[in-house]
Amino acid sequence: MRMWTYDLAREQAPSIGHLRDLLQMTREAGYTHFGLYMEHRFAYPSTPWAHGKGALTPEVIRQLIAEFPEVEIVPFVNLLGHYEGMLYTEGGYRMREERFKGLQACPSCDEFIAVCEGIIDDVLAIFPAQLVHIGGDETAQLGRCPKCAARVAEEEKVEGVDGKAVLYGKHFQRLCQKVVDAGRTPGLWADMFAEHPQAIQFIPKSTILFDWKYFHSPKESARQHMENGFKVVLSPTLHTYNSVWLHLAQSERNVLGAIQGAQELGAEGVCVTTWECGLFGNYETLMPALRASGEAMSRPQPASIGGPEEYLTSPMPYPSGDLGCFMEAYQAGGERAGEWARLMGLELNELGGIFGYSHTRSSLKCRLLLYGNPFLAWMHHADELKGPQGEKALAICDRAETFAPNPSMRGVATFVKKAVEFVRYAEQARQAYGQGIVGLAMASLAPCRQIFEDLEKVAIANQTNIGGSLADIERCKVAKLHVETVMRRLKEYGDGSLGYLPAFEIITHPKFMPHDQASWWLINTWANE
């Protein structure tokens, strides 16, 4: 099995033309399977209350299956964790494990079980693929609600029993068996079996386990699952979610390490995952890396990457000093594409800090746009970006904009450039505000309105060109509006008319309230509940 997954769930709204382009590349690169990771972004007939704008429809899937018979289009649904797209709607809130918190549904909720079974019936009817992946990853909220807590406690009356493992195992036992009874093969993510090993005893042995390891070798855990009688697909990733674009070298090492491990173990295959192309990610810019991954899977032996430790920890850019197959794939698109990828995927990474390789999602992207307050990016990253580090990042992005051969690549560079510029303008405003020069503070923020107008245009282009995030367009509008709100606050209260001068991080916060000098909205632990 040679597969990659398209993260439709992270706000993607592709047209059938966009999906044709992805499937054409998938076929040409030698993949046998295309994983469609859907969550709430598919119009399941049984959940009409959850069909957001641009949700993928059954009609489009049937058309694509007819056009690309060589590629098996595999449905990936999530039926416990990563259910947030359903939970935070009026139709789904009753199924939550906890109120206003997290991403997990309640496995003790009869309504939720019925919805899960309905979704399975939907995908069985729409997708002819033998494999039906039903999720199962990152269920950290097991046992939190009163019903689930009671079930866990009851199971743990027996010495040595992990009640959460039983709760999880019985939930997926029922759903996997439904897939098996339909003559299909269920798939599950394997991470929760590491945390709750006793859960594995409930899972039908015909289930394929997808063992995702993004930061170290997957061979040992995959071997254990295979020894327990399961087929295993090793699942690396393209490191986009933890990057302002893509950590190119680390992604290649992760992918090649999984391919090497799968070949050595005789595993079922490899599935390259991609995540979170909202927040100005762009699938068009990832296609060369995806093509290189598919071609590497198709070779009898992948490129040598050294040992499992070397490929994850060796100095940049590559252990041997060569280009690597990912960079070669970008260079195959022309000199400009190759140089753009080197700048955004290697040179920017080498700056370290917020541009460096980490185990968590990009703090710059999240703080600028995800949380509804772009000044969080200033608050956390001004010290890093106000000086030489910021100047170096801007220079790299300027060059990347120049070399970018298409709007998608240019948009990625523009996003990073504008993010750095915003932080630097906000720091200038803070300095002036602290010195009592309110007019200068407002003048420093004035260009930030244009920054978010420019980013809105990039977001619209992403949506048009590759079916990117609709939410990014709205995030830019909200950010611009908040900048204007802060400018009005500076004008009204920056002269000390309140009798005190609010700290810059307070007056720039969406919850700022005049005369609440103690900022009670901040210090109370229930502030966001």
Domain ranges of the chain: 2-316, 362-523
335-360 burial: b if 16+ Cβ within 10 Å, else e: ebbbbbbbbbbbbbbebeebbebbee
Task: Rounding to the nearest 10 degrees, give the CA dihedral for residues 371, 377, 381, 385.
Answer: 150
From residue 183, alpha-carbon distances to 26, 268, 379, 520 in Å are: 26, 19, 55, 58
Report whether CATH 3.90.45.10 matches the domain 2-316: no
DSSP label at residue 6: E
3 state DSSP class of 72: strand
Q: What is the pLDDT of residue 323?
A: 75
Q: How far is residue 426's CA from residue 448's CA, in Å, rounded to a whole number?
A: 8
With a cut of 70, list the residues of the chain below it in pLDDT.
302-322, 525, 527-528
- Interatomic CA distance for residues 435 and 390, integer angstroms: 23
Distance in angstroms (rounded) separating the CA atoms of residues 381 and 390:
10
Q: State how far the Cα of 505 lies from the Cα of 249, in Å rounded to an integer.
A: 37
Euclidean distance between the first and final Cα of the chain, in Å? 45
CB-based contact 427:386 (threshold 8 Å):
yes
What are the distances in angstroms from CA 270 to CA 28, 273, 483? Answer: 17, 10, 45
Burial class (CB in 10 A: 0-12, 13-18, 19+), 287: buried
How far apart CA 60 and CA 228 sit, in angstroms, is 39
For 359-406, write each residue's pLDDT tens digit: 999 999 999 999 999 999 999 999 999 999 999 999 999 999 999 999
Instruction: Tell me which DSSP letter residue 48 carries.
Output: G
Asked if residue 430 lies in contact with residue 444, where contact means CB atoms within 8 angstroms, the answer is: no
List, as one string, the DSSP characters of 338-365: HHHHHIIIIIHHHT-GGGS--SS--HHH
Supply 487's token pair: 């400018």
Rounded Cα–Cα distance for residues 466 and 233 (Å): 28
How far apart (Å, rounded) are the C-alpha atoms in residues 60 and 66?
10
pLDDT of residue 311: 41
CA angle at 242 for the pair 241 and 247, rounded to the nearest 5°: 100
Strand partners, 76: 37, 133
* 250-295 pLDDT tens trace: 999 999 999 999 999 999 999 999 999 999 999 999 999 999 999 9
99 residue type, one letter: R
Owner of token pair 């008319």: 497
